[in-house]
Amino acid sequence: MSKNLVLWLVIAAVLFAVFQNIGSQTQQKPMAYSDFITDVRSGQVKKVTIDGLEIIGERQDGGVFKVIRPNVIDTKLMDDLYNRDVKVIGKLPEKPSLWQQLLVASFPILVILVVFMFFMRQMQGGAGGRGGPMSFGKSKARLLGEDQVKTTFADVAGVDEAKEEVQELVEYLRDPSKFQRLGGQIPRGVLMAGPPGTGKTLLAKAIAGEAKVPFFSISGSDFVEMFVGVGASRVRDMFDQAKKQAPCIIFIDEIDAVGRHRGGGHGGGHDEREQTLNQLLVEMDGFEGNEGVIVMAATNRADVLDKALMRPGRFDRQVHVGLPDIRGREQILKVHMRKVPMDDAVKASVIARGTPGFSGADLANLVNEAALFAARANKRTVSMEDFEKARDKIMMGAERKSMVMSEKDKIMTAYHEAGHAIVGYLMPEHDPVHKVTIIPRGGALGVTQFLPEDDKYSHSRRYLLGQISTLYGGRIAEEMTGGEDAVSTGASSDIERATQIARGMVMKWGLSDLLGPLAYGEDQGQFPGTGSPNYSGATSKLIDEEVRRIIDERYELAEKILDDNKDILETMKDALIEYETIDSEQIEDLMQRRDVRPPRDWDDSDFNSHIKSEPKGDKKSEDDKKPGPIGGPANES
């Protein structure tokens, strides 16, 4: 504001001088010089005052006149005035006032100063002082005022326990005296940890929206630069700004970018990150208190954070924001469905039951994809059929209908997917087969989709062994129908996943009778990749032998199952060639050796058609990952 004021004052002074000069010239009209000479010679002029080229005179009768003398040398004028006894008065040239002299002298300097200030302001990032080349030491935190944050707890669903944990933060920001009367202190920092897409950032904004306080938002990567000390400077600047706005909330997203374990300080970038972390530690719980400033952070890698950052007095409250259960998914779906016109038959509870393992972001994407499918079909509302298509796209990938497959590739893909489906159907505690397709989706030529009947939080040994057998079902079906030379590279991802499961059973989960309930891995080194195995070479050999034994046993079991059900393999292959996609009811017909019913018109019951009234085995276990399909042969050319 002061810089603009100086500029306007300079402009006003110039305009004033111009108008003053103009005003001094707007007087009576001067008489002709020839008439003036005639009056002088006729004795009518009594007195004249000569000021440069201007002559102001007085007549004998008292009249006043003004004459502009031509800019030529007239030597006879003074003789005429003296001979007629005219009183002649001279006048010194008018000097400019002191302030005018100062203005004229300082005007170039003022112009240079204003231009310099303008460029400095632009280099510092404009009015906000952010983003310019000279602002590398300034905080990049974005400030949202108390009226700008519109998110409230009504917009956050599926994380009831997390909301209860942070509810008292809202009460403290609204009325700090309520806690201070009893000597209580609100946590200085709140760390929200959980898988991606579960609503950590949304929950932080909801706290600011409920409390009606300023909200500073920044990413952990915004602190780290190539110059040592810049990150620490930004931390100081951010907290200085926050203190002026207190009470307020500072939200640091992906704090693991700056808060990782400190090491030996080797390397410039490492030194910079450590200095930034040290400054953050001091600001949160150093000699100077930050009353009224609550720091919230989010990460999905809480295990890599420095211990000093996690101690009481800093991030002394940890809130786990996990994947929602079936009730939470229903609430999240209702929040997102409010923005989309829904068909009367759409039920959030039905969709929630058929989407186990989905995060809040996955469900938001599901609603959006369903709305896009409805828009492509020129519908006015979104139906359950649109949600089924959207779920298939998210879980299996988009259909590649334009891809032309040869008849040989179609047949081999049909055998491959039928092998997955048959083995998976007959495995105990396995997720039910929901859909099998030979339409290329994503990077696979075909997909077999399994969906669990309910939420799971752990897996049994029987379930994991069944998974290994199912993964090899596609490769075995190719080998049984085309011979060893017909086996394709499409089973590469299946082999990789099966090997990971078997190695995890031996080394992580203690599910091997030979090696027992011990964990085999690497001791954590000072830096990533510098650890060493915590087991001997002899144990390493035993691990390899045990993994190989598990794979061989499950491979032989899957081979026996398909050999006993060759007729089902052939009929399922024929059904896939005819219909391209078969659902759970058609798979049930095939497995019971009944005639396959044709695809029926879609209705609401199809969305959860994989869920049976009497599920096979014990379904009390689950992974925190969303259930995924088993892909067919990859499109590897």
Provide the 8-state DSSP code for 342: B
Provide the 8-state DSSP code for 132: S
Tell me if residue 417 is catalytic: yes
Contact call for residues 456 and 476 (beta carbons, < 8 A): no
Contact call for residues 140 and 234 (beta carbons, < 8 A): yes
The phi-psi region of residue 425 (left if phi > 0; otherwise alpha if psi is between -120 and 50; otherwise beta) is: alpha
In single-letter form, the type of residue at position 74 comes to D
Q: Which residue is catalytic, options 417, 478, 479, 559? A: 417
Interacting residues of 275 by C-beta distance below 8 A, sequence separation 6+: 228, 229, 231, 232
Give the DSSP H or E segment for 318. strand 317-320
Picking from 215, 318, 316, 226, the residue whose alpha carbon sits closest to that of residue 273 is: 226
CA dihedral 6→9→11→13, nearest 10 degrees, is -140
Beta bridge partners of 295: 189, 250
Provide the 8-state DSSP code for 292: T
Nearest-angstrom CA–CA distance, 117 and 121: 6
Provide the 8-state DSSP code for 97: P
Beta bridge partners of 515: none
Helices (H), 212-359: 230-245, 268-285, 307-310, 326-337, 348-353
Length of the chain in terms of residues written: 637
Nearest-angstrom CA–CA distance, 295 and 532: 37
Give the DSSP H or E segment for 487. none
Picking from 419, 416, 364, 421, the residue whose alpha carbon sits closest to that of residue 394 is: 364
Provide the 8-state DSSP code for 289: -
Q: Which residues are annotated as catalytic?
A: 417
